[in-house]
């Protein structure tokens, strides 16, 4: 398929014309004639000046100006459509933006569900501040700690109150009839998962 730029350039070379010579005859800047021959659209003049130059250039070379202009417009419009498609390919259309928002929303919700599932099916966190054995007086131990506020805490099977921050505290009396006593702290989640810590005194 012949392009208008090739037809004009070949006709000029066949007639052994220089662009400067044609520029002087048509009173048209050389840069515009060169842009038309090389399809440098960034250097094209504005319409309708561009169409007039193409038509005059064709007439000067004894070509059908109307036909050459029609071919040139076909070539130029085709090239412009290709460039527009490339630009549209990388542009954020409302439809694409909506898809991205939906995808991100689903992703965030899925991550939230996974984290909640893991949280529901694992033992609650449990931290106990055990007093040092040498700090005990009268076989009394003050047991304090932290866990999930929704958990149930028992110390040696005795239920302990857990406040809204997850803190708990209880005074435990050691068994004086034996040489040692073991304190067991258990935190049970709403799903029945148990975290257990113990210490012997």
Q: Does 126-200 match 4-89 at the fold level?
A: no
For residue 79, what pLDDT is reported? 54
In this structure, what are the phi and psi dihedrals at residue 171, rounded to the nearest 5 degrees? -90, 125
5 in Cβ contact with 39 (< 8 Å): yes
Residues 98, 125: Cα–Cα separation, whole Å? 40
Q: Tell me the whole-structure pTM to 2 decimals.
A: 0.43
Ranges of each domain in the chain:
4-89, 126-200
Residues 62, 75: Cα–Cα separation, whole Å? 21
Q: Which of 50-54, 60-64, 91-95, 96-100 has the lowest mean pLDDT?
A: 91-95
pLDDT at position 1 over 80: no
Fold of the domain spanning 126-200:
Immunoglobulin-like (2.60.40)
How much of the chain, in percent, has pLDDT values that exceed 90?
28
Q: What is the pLDDT of residues 122-162, one digit of tens each?
A: 899 999 998 887 777 777 888 999 999 999 999 998 999 99
Query: Phi-psi region for residue 99, left (φ > 0), alpha (ψ -120 to 50) or beta?
Result: alpha
Please give the angle made by the CA atoms of 88, 94 and 99, to the nearest 5 degrees. Answer: 100
Class of domain 4-89: mainly alpha
Q: What is the pLDDT of residues 65-107, one digit of tens each?
A: 888 888 888 887 755 554 544 445 556 678 888 899 999 999 9
More confident residue, 188 or 201: 188
């Amino acid at each position: 398929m012949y392009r208008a730029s090739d037809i004009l350039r070949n006709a000029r070379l066949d007639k052994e014309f220089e662009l400067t010579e044609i520029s002087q005859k048509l009173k048209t800047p050389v840069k515009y004639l060169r842009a038309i021959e090389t399809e440098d659209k960034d250097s094209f003049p504005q319409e309708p000046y561009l169409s007039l130059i193409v038509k005059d250039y064709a007439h000067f070379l004894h070509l059908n100006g109307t036909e050459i202009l029609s071919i040139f417009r076909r070539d130029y419009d085709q090239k412009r459509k290709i460039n527009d498609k490339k630009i549209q390919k990388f542009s954020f259309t409302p439809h694409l933006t909506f898809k991205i928002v939906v995808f991100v929303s689903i992703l965030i919700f899925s991550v939230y569900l996974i984290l909640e599932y893991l949280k529901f099916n694992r033992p609650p966190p449990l931290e106990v501040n055990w007093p040092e054995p040498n700090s005990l007086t009268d076989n009394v131990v003050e047991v304090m700690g932290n866990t999930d506020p929704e958990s149930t805490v028992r110390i040696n099977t005795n239920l302990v109150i857990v406040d809204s921050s997850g803190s708990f505290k209880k005074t435990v009396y050691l068994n004086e009839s034996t040489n040692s006593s073991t304190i067991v702290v258990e935190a049970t989640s709403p799903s029945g998962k148990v975290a257990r810590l113990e210490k012997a005194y």
